Chain A
Amino acid sequence: MTSIAKEKSGRASAREVAVWDPLVRLVHWSLALTILLNGAFVEEESMTHEWIGYVALGLVALRLIWALIGPKHARFSAFPPSPMRAVNHLGAILSGDRKIHLSHNPLGALMVYNIWLSVIGLGVTGYMMTTLTFFGVDWVEEAHEAIFAWLIFSVVLHIAGVAFDSWRSGVNLARSMVTGRKNIPMGSELE
């Protein structure tokens, strides 16, 4: 509170930027909850497991629509699925770059699409198991389990990535997914 210069708007000063809108946050944590419930707590082959699966599918569908018509940071255009950018980003990290991405960083973007596709894959194979045509078919069940294993691996990687990037950029990413705001430290470059 000693200096007004600290609050002065400008590139170099610390500030909070609203990034994640409430719908993005709700969908994120709801999806995390459905994965946790179905993965760890709810009995497989129960009706509850099926219903939670459909809810997860619905959440992803809702998020995909929001990525088309939602605000700037929630849109596909804010985090295009580009392996090229991800590789460049990786190089930038290794060379000590501390640029802050307001939306997902290029690696995080790939993880987002990966998790959405995995959940859709789980939902589709899970639904197939309830149909007469595919009930008891081995490869469907194996695919469901393989995708689940991949999803868990992805979630662990996702959490590690969030922890790493929070440390690297100084922006507490987990907190920003709760409050919707990113705390941009002094003197950081934005992208």
Chain B
Amino acid sequence: MKLWPWPAKTKERRATILAGLILVQALCALFFIGDVIEDLRVDGQLDGPHMVLETVAAVALVGGVIFLMIELRGLLARMSDMQTGLDVAKGHLADVIEGFFDDWSLTSAERDVAIMILKGLDNETIAQLRGTATGTVRAQTTNIYSKSQTDGRAQFISLFVEELLAGNDHLGELPPKVSTDRTTQHP
């Protein structure tokens, strides 16, 4: 498990950088505010270009910090929305898969094997992972294909891909433009 907090995802990296900028800029703002207050205490007046500049810098920095904070909150909110969407999609796909398995009344061993097929493992690997003979796995996959009325691995997997595409009708058929592009790419 990775403990190092530097995130791999672009959005998370952006959030981390934003947070770092906010921190540094807030400390800069504090420095200028402190300086203005200190000068006020010593001189007791707010004129002269030095003081004006310092005050402007302090105000601009504070405004910048607040602005960055609002940006960061927006970014975090978008990230959390995306995560929720992903979770829902993941959950739904899992529900769909479980639903199919129930319909076909797969045994629990067959369910395990079926999921491994979906994850792209071949019979030998499945046998190794489950600690059974390859022959057993072959028998189980045959059962799975017959229960799901498919003629093999590819058609079995395509059942679920079809389910994923079902909600996006436009993906069902390739638009003519794409197919001409393909033919030009492979003359």
Contacts and interface: CB of A to CB of B under 8 A. Distances in A.
A2 interface: yes
A70 B12 CA distance: 16
B69 A58 contact: no
A103 B17 CA distance: 23
Contacts, number: 92
B51 interface: no
Contact of A178 (B5, B79, B83): B5
A30 interface: yes
A112 interface: no
A1 B118 CA distance: 11
B57 interface: no
Interface residues of A, number: 33
Nearest to B16: A22
A69 B73 contact: yes
A22 B90 contact: no
A54 B116 contact: no
A69 B70 contact: yes
A62 B112 contact: no
Contact of B73 (A1, A30, A62, A71): A71
Interface of B: 2-3, 5, 12, 15-16, 18-20, 22-23, 26-27, 30, 34, 65-66, 69-70, 72-73, 76-77, 79-80, 83, 87-88, 90-91, 94-95, 97-98, 111-112, 115-116, 118-119, 129-130
14 contacts: A1-B119, A2-B129, A3-B111, A4-B94, A4-B118, A9-B90, A22-B18, A23-B72, A25-B5, A25-B19, A26-B20, A70-B69, A178-B3, A180-B5
